[in-house]
Chains A and B, each alone.
Chain A
Amino acid sequence: MLQLVIFGIAAIASFIVTTGPLAAQTLDKVKQRGVLVVGTKADYKPFGFRDTSGAIVGFEPDLARDVASRLGVRLELEPVVSSNRMQFLQQGKIDLMLATMNVTQERRQTVGIIDPSYYASGVNVLAIKKAALKTWEQLKNQKICAIQGAWYNKVVAEKYGAEIVAFRGQTESETALLQGNCIGWMYDDTAFLERLGDPKWSAFEMPLETILDEPWGAAVKLEERDGPWGQFMAKTITEWHRSGKLIEVEKKWSIPPSAFLKKVSAETK
């Protein structure tokens, strides 16, 4: 038993020690290697998904491609999910994260979130029409499918008393909802927009008001947020807003125009 306790303490201590000073600066490393590794979603149509050939395409991969071409390096996309994207960044598995991540105070302390944000989304529920949902309060003790790792799972469970049934990815949640395991699926409103136009989803609706509107932030390692790499990304994103690049890419993927982008691009002009 004593050995066990010592082992546990040693394991905790080793985690604390490893977050020491940073090694090489990412910007130099990327230029030297000639490859930029960006973590994006691969199951979040149309922001990041696999096309018929298996390649990752979408809104965020297009932005990643733009970053790589600015640096004059080759782009490599690494698929991430909500529950591992920040760890991948911390471990140096990816150089940059563009993975539909909402900005929260907690996350700002863990990874280097770049200002300005490049997009924004809120939380909504894709519900079975027969459930006749009108308000968030009706979710009390109801089974709601969700994605593991989403920051609002806890908020909605605490505030509205919903019973969250969280799966690993979109596909599992989607299947569970279609099979009647939950009365609704809680996720980013942006993810539902495309589905509502699809006949497969004709028995479903998005009846609630979008809540918890949060911007999406690109992220680098926390230590590099104010270094050359973080500054480069801040400048790049500002230019995306100014040049209308984001609205252009949004159009390319037929995403309904977001109020956030219109507002920011009006401000930066």
Chain B
Amino acid sequence: MDLQPVWDWFRVLHATTGIKLTIFYDAFDRLRFLNGFLTSIRLMALCLACSVAIGIVGAWVQGSQLKLLRTVTQAYIQFFRNTPPLVQLYFFYFALGSYLRITNAAGLEVPIVSNFVWAVICLSLYAGSFNIEIFRAGIEAVPKETVEAAEALGYSRLKAYAYVILPLAFRISLPALNNNLVNLVKTTTIAYAIAVPEMLYVANQIWSDELNVAEMMNVLLVIYVSLVGMLVYAMGRWERALRIPGYTP
């Protein structure tokens, strides 16, 4: 499909109204904005998946018999929940990153972990710490009798968690989880501080070059509102699909 007429329309829009959307008619800006958009999507998808996984595993570990394991989980939650994500990002990238280096073939010392991976690690751990608490709230809302019934039927702790407790707890946790995931999607923008070329970073570059701050701000606004809207819609659908008629914990 040839999109040239569309791009040209935006060029005419600029010439006639002064609304300067170079991301449509300037090939260089278009490519970098598209790459920024895709980087954002990748970052969001990876962080969402990892943070939910951290939440599920962490909530299970929290109920462990081993005191040491519980203490470690608790320390992790307190550390990541109680410090600003931007500070964590700087800490990982600039402080930890400076120790994790190897010498490459050309004899240069290069970092082992790229800025994108640091962003995924940091944001996942950050949102994951909240998710653990969210799932814990769900687990504690599962009736004690149900857990005892599962134990009476011979379920091990892990099996009871996977087949009985988590499916019920997950349903209870969904609204709160929804909130946290929306927050996570928006928080991915701070990755621009360590030069991950996501959407905000690219938009910032474009408006510095083209001086179209207002237009790019509006583009960002529309895209983020749409992305969050889609996430909320999908989560809402999921919540309804998982509903058990008549079940109120």
Contact = CB atoms under 8 A, between A and B. Distances in A.
Interface string A166-177: 111000100110
Contact of B195 (A131, A158, A176): A176
B119 to A, nearest CB: 13
Contact of A181 (B111, B208, B218, B222): B111
B209 A151 contact: yes
A238 interface: no
A107 B211 contact: yes
Contacts of B215: 12
Given A130-B106, A130-B108, A149-B204, A179 B222 contact: no
Interface string A1-36: 000100010011001100000000000000000000
B93 to A, nearest CB: 8
Given A11-B218, A87-B213, A180-B111, A148 B101 contact: no
A151 B208 contact: yes
B94 interface: yes
A183 interface: yes
Interface residues of B, number: 32
Nearest to B97: A179
Nearest to B219: A8
B209 to A, nearest CB: 5
A265 interface: no
Nearest to B32: A157
Interface string A125-137: 0001011000000
B247 interface: no
A43 to B, nearest CB: 15
A236 interface: no
Interface string B7-28: 0000000000011000000001
Interface of A: 4, 8, 11-12, 15-16, 82-83, 86-87, 106-107, 109-110, 128, 130-131, 148-151, 153-154, 157-158, 164-168, 172, 175-176, 179-181, 183
10 contacts: A8-B218, A8-B222, A148-B204, A154-B209, A158-B28, A165-B195, A166-B205, A179-B101, A180-B101, A180-B109
Interface of B: 18-19, 28, 94, 97-98, 101, 106-111, 115, 193-195, 201, 204-205, 208-211, 213-215, 218, 221-222, 225-226
